[in-house]
Amino acid sequence: MIMKNNHFIIFSIFIVSFTVSAALTSDGLSLLAFKSAVSDPLSALSDWDSSSADPCHWSGVSCSNFSASLRVVSLSLSSKNLSGYLPSEIAGLSFLRRLNLHDNLISGSLPPDLFRSDASLRSVFLHGNNISGGLPPTLCDAPRLQNLDLSRNSLSGALDGEVLRQCRQIQRLVLDGNRLSGKIPSGIWSALTDLVQLDLSSNNLDGPIPPDLSDLNSLAGTLNLSHNRLSGKIPPELGRLPVAVSLDFRSNNLSGEIPQSGSLSNQGPTSFLNNPTLCGFPLQNPCPSSSKSNPNNPSTNPEARSDGGLRPGLIVLISVADAAGVAAIGLIVVYVYWKRKDQHNSCSCTRKSKLGGGGDRTITLCCCRNGFPAATTTDDDASDGGGGEGDLVAIDKGFKFELDELLRASAYVLGKGRMGIVYKVVVGSTGLPVAVRRLGEGGGGGGERYKEFAAEVEAMGRLRHPNVVRLRAYYWAQDEKLIISDFVNNGNLASALKGRAGQSLTWSIRLKIAKGTARGLAYIHDHSPKKYVHGDIKPSNILLDSDFNPLISDFGLLRLLHITTPTHPTTPTPTTDSFGLPVKPFPTNPTTHYRAPEARPVGARPTQKSDVYSFGVVLLELLTGRAPEAVASPSTPSTSSSTTGEQAEIVRWVRKCFDEEGPLSEVVDPGLLGEVRVKKEVVAAFHVAMACVEVDPEARPRMKAVCDGLERIGG
């Protein structure tokens, strides 16, 4: 009897196991294996039920349709206090594109099968856990892997150059805050042609910095090697990196003089701090005279006497050579001075008035050592037509800085474009940062042109809205036009969507950005003194503060650029600016992906309705997580976006998906699908966006209506 009962129990367990296996898909079984490998104190996985045949409705899981079957494409369970380990069964999710388990308590090593060559992984975010062991040799075998963030874990061992060489498709490799040791490998970086971000900071790496890091031509943002044990000199080859790249070498054992070449000369002092034997500009630590050039060093100068002194004949020779060198330099300076004066009627950098200047006020422009254009003013009498030219004019009464104080401050290049160069300038003893846009060195300084410029800037400065960047002051001189505004410390929306900050762009943050941008643009349209048109709404012109509040920048600059651009067709276009950096010619028509069809032809004037269209494209990018130029597919043929009447590619793609009533998972950013409660809000936002991007301008709503529509979403 007992034997029969045992057989019955075993048979029952077999039947139950078979039923569960038959009901669940292979993806469901892989997910249950993950659930069994972790501890879930917050019950984040409470609805992961083996009796359910469809894991696509489980928390944190998103699916897409492949060959008439739903497969898991995203697993997002960040900050759920999960502990345990990553089981090898998770590699069974063969269609998984996004694995997001950051800021948990997961330990153990990385399963090598996770990155196997037939995996569909595109983004892996495991930062903020306690994963240990070394980097698996299969790390970059997944052919579509673009974003890999393993920072703030306990990974150890050396960086294997042969493993990293295979990371050709990787765009963001973030390994900071681990225990990696050994040297940074060399001879591999030219293979990583798509790498945009590299962060190896806060590890135990030692040895020299490889010069071939300069082969990372696609880098943007920051190359971070700080808080390691790196030694030796900074390779001057790193100056070949893109000018916009920020370099961070803090807290190492680097030595020698900081090279002043290319992008290295654009860095501020914070990039080099806490390297005791590093010297030279921009640090306040001057370099001692090199023994190789010291004539008093007997080991390097055969003419030196054995007792350490110099022979009298050698002293005379050195004195004559020094005098000749100084005289030659003086002749060159005088020649350049008169040459520039004759050709451009410009001033020298001697802080003197121009010859024949009489009582005129003149501006002399030169370059400070920190790369910011300096100006000096000789105040005799004001020019008849100047109307305040050469003064730093404060629009905001709270802006107390003097011109000399501003121009002596440390300045760092934030970016260059058709609207000029933008600097971050830390002013005075207060350490207050401001953004200074240098509009150009041409355009003349005539009284009428100055008055037009001043009137435009004063009108722009009267715009006061929490979602519009605030202008503080401006400066106009014959060869220099500056716009000073608040510095916004968290980058722009374009970087947030593409970079590491994009991992924090939850639905609530994206909706916050959309609403704030809409409010700011509606204010510019309806409440500004001149009912402005922005004309260039795009993610890079939407700045974010530390709380992800958006601030619209660059409004009115198209008009200012027209005022300050020289109108002399015979004037040759400079190939370099005053820093010796190459100047790219302004495009005849700027990037058109965000421009309305009617605003794309050359010479077309933007309107408020074209601003609405641009905002709609930005909103679609927030919802889909895709850049407007990166959505073309074989089923959606690419079309030139510069032709009148044609919509941006992202607009055509989203409209096609909605017309064919495809699943929401095909168009929405996979990172949003895990937030089940907001799917209705996402759909409502899509409807607002599609209304904004109507081909007919008259069919588009006004920004006030767009703003009201977004305010109704999410309460």
Report how far apart the first and last C-alpha atoms of the chain are (Å, whole number): 66
Give the C-alpha separation, 448 to 578, whole Å. 26
Find the catalytic residue in 141, 176, 486, 536.
536
Instruction: Please give the backbone phi and psi of residue 547, each rounded to the nearest 5 degrees, phi first.
Output: -100, 15
Per DSSP, helices labelled H in 392-435 are 403-408
Contact 216, 198 (CB under 8 A): yes
Closest CA to 83 of 47, 45, 55, 113: 45
CA 10 to centroid of chain Cα atoms:
61
Residues in the chain: 715
3 state DSSP class of 293:
helix
Q: What is the CA radius of gyration of the chain?
A: 31
Half-sphere exposure of 114 (CA within 13 A, CB side): 22
Active site residue 54: no
Contact 455, 560 (CB under 8 A): no
Closest CA to 636 of 619, 661, 657: 657
Q: CA torsion sign, 239 to 240 to 246 to 250?
A: negative
Distance set, CA 700 to CA 171, 420, 601, 615, 706 (Å) = 37, 32, 20, 11, 9
Give the C-alpha separation, 441 to 365, whole Å. 10
Closest CA to 554 of 472, 633, 483, 617: 483
Closest CA to 34 of 16, 15, 59: 59
The residue whose two tokens read 């933007």 is 606
Supply 611's token pair: 């601003």
Element (H, E) at 59: none
Name every residue whose Cβ is closer than 8 Å to that of residue 531 and which is 6 or more positions away in sequence.
Answer: 525, 608
CA 516 to centroid of chain Cα atoms:
21
Give the C-alpha separation, 543 to 537, whole Å. 11
Contact 454, 387 (CB under 8 A): yes
Neighbours of 468 (CB within 10 A): 23
**Strand order from edge to edge, sheet including 432-440:** 392-394, 471-477, 480-486, 432-440, 420-427, 410-417
Catalytic site positions = 536
